[in-house]
Amino acid sequence: MRLPRRAALGLLPLLLLLPPAPEAAKKPTPCHRCRGLVDKFNQGMVDTAKKNFGGGNTAWEEKTLSKYESSEIRLLEILEGLCESSDFECNQMLEAQEEHLEAWWLQLKSEYPDLFEWFCVKTLKVCCSPGTYGPDCLACQGGSQRPCSGNGHCSGDGSRQGDGSCRCHMGYQGPLCTDCMDGYFSSLRNETHSICTVRTGLSDSYPPCCLSLGCWRGVGHAWIRGRNTHTQPGYSSRVWIAAFSPACDESCKTCSGLTNRDCGECEVGWVLDEGACVDVDECAAEPPPCSAAQFCKNANGSYTCEECDSSCVGCTGEGPGNCKECISGYAREHGQCADVDECSLAEKACVRKHENCYNTPGSYVCVCPDGFEETEDACVPPAEAEATEGESPTQLPSREDL
C-alpha cells in the first residue's frame, strides 16, 4: 500500500515551537515493528476465521476457487487491515515485505506455523528467539531457558541488540544475578535457583548475632522456623533467636511477619487487597498480554505466554481442545480441532479416473497408482496406455467391422 506524500511546510513553525521529544520516546526498533506487524497479522487471521467468499454458494465457491481459509482473497483482507493509513512505518514495512508474507501464507504456513519465528527471526533477521540476543542470537547469560538465573533481565533479550549481560532485579547482584546485595541474605541456593530475601526490622539495639545472621523481630520474639539462640555480652537477661528461613511471604517486598497480611509493601505482580498482598492475574487484562497465537498462563507474581496448538487459530489454553478456531484442513470433532480426512468425504477430493487419494495433516494429495500414466483427465492403466499408443489414426477398419 503506497501512502500519499503530504506537504509538511505548513507545520514547520509549529514544530519549531514544540519542546524536544523526551529521551524515552525513542523510535521503535526493527524487531518491535516486525513483532507488531506479526501480532496484527495473527489478529487478522482470528478476525477472518469465520468468513467465506461471500457469494452465497460457499460449497461451489470453495470447490471452484479453493478453500477460503487458505485463499489469496483472505490474505488480501488480512493485509488490508494491518496498518492504519497514518502509520507510515507500518505501511513502509508492509510494502517492502508483502511478498514474504504472501509466500508464507500460500506455501510455507504448514511447515512454519509460527509466523514470528519464520518472518522476524529467520527471514528478516531483526529479532531473536526468547532468551537469546545480538546479531547472532547467542544465548543470554545463564542460558536461554532461564536468563540471568531468573533474577534479572538479559540485555537485548529477543532482539538483535544488547550484549547479553544481566541487569539484576532488586536484591541480586553478580554476572548471573545469583549473589545477594547488602541488606539481603540467601534464603535458598542450589544448582538451578538462588533466592535472596530482604533483612527487615534490624536496628542498633540488636545483638551482633542478629545483625550477622538476620533476625526479624516480632512482638517480643523473632519470626522463625529454624532457631539458634545466642546470649551476647550486655544481653545476658534476654535470649535472641536467629532466623535462617525467609521471613517474608513471596508476595511481600518488605514485611513484619510471615504471611501475606504482614507485608509492608507488595512485590511486583502482587497488589494489596483487603489488607493482604494477592497475586495480580495479568491474563485477565484487556487487551491480553500475549499475542493472538499464544495463550496466557498466570503464575504467582507473573505470567507466561505459551504457544497455541498447531491446529489452532487463536486459543484459550493448551492443546487442540482449547482452539478458538481451527486452521484450514481441521474441523471441530468431539470438542477439539482434528484433521479433516478429505479422502473419506462424500464429495470426492480426487476426481480423475483411477486416482488415489491420500490424507495428510490439514490437507490431502492425489496420486496415480504405480504404473499408471498420468494425464490431465485420468490415470490411464498400462494396458489402455499401450493400446492407445499402438493405434494408428490412419488405419482402415477391417472387412469384418464393415
Lowest mean pLDDT among 159-173, 196-210, 242-256: 196-210
In this predicted structure, the answer to whether residue 40 has a pLDDT above a threshold of 60 is yes
Q: Is 70 left (phi over 0), alpha (psi -120 to 50) or beta?
A: alpha
Q: Which residue has the higher pLDDT, 78 or 199?
A: 78
Rounded CA separation 349/377 (Å): 14
- The closest of 194, 191, 1, 171 to 84, measured between CA atoms, is 1
pTM over 0.75: no
Rounded CA separation 130/137 (Å): 9
Q: Work out the average pLDDT over 207-220.
A: 37
Largest CA distance in the chain: 136
User: Nearest-5° angle of CA 155, CA 158, CA 159?
Assistant: 75
* pLDDT tens digits, one per residue of 281-331: 989 888 888 998 899 999 888 889 999 998 999 999 999 999 999 998 899
Whether the link from the prior residue into 287 is cis, omega within 30° of 0, is: yes
What local confidence, expressed as pLDDT, does residue 35 receive?
A: 86
The crossing angle, in degrees rounded to 10, of helices 88-103 and 30-47 is: 60
Rounded CA separation 336/326 (Å): 9
Q: Work out the average pLDDT over 206-225.
A: 36
Rg (CA), the chain: 33
Residue position matching grid coordinates 506455523: 113
User: Nearest-5° angle of CA 158, CA 164, CA 165?
Assistant: 135
Residue position matching grid coordinates 495428510: 360
Rounded CA separation 198/169 (Å): 13
Buried/exposed 365-376: b ≥16 CB within 10 Å, e otherwise: ebebeeebeeee
What local confidence, expressed as pLDDT, does residue 262 receive?
A: 87
DSSP-derived secondary structure for 31-72:
HHHHHHHHHHHHHHHHHTTT---SSS-HHHHHHHH--GGG-H
DSSP-derived secondary structure for 172-196:
EESTTS-EEPTTEEEEEE-SS-EEE
Which residues are within 8 A (CB) of 129 and not within 5 positions of it... i.e. 6 or more apart? 117, 121, 137, 144, 158
For β-strands 166-168 and 312-315, DSSP reports them as unpaired
For β-strands 330-333 and 336-339, DSSP reports them as antiparallel
* pLDDT tens digits, one per residue of 346-372: 888 898 988 899 888 888 889 898 888
Rounded CA separation 65/60 (Å): 8
3-state secondary structure string, 63-100?
HHHCCHHHCHHHHHHHHHCCCCCCCHHHHHHHHHHHHH
* pLDDT tens digits, one per residue of 128-170: 999 999 999 999 999 998 899 888 889 989 888 899 999 998 8
DSSP letter, residue 282: G
Task: Identify the structural domains of the chain with CATH numbers, from first to last.
Answer: 28-127 (no CATH), 134-200 (no CATH), 281-338 (no CATH), 341-382 (2.10.25)
What local confidence, expressed as pLDDT, does residue 391 receive?
A: 53
Joined grid coordinates for residue 277:
498482598
Beta bridge partners of 265: 254
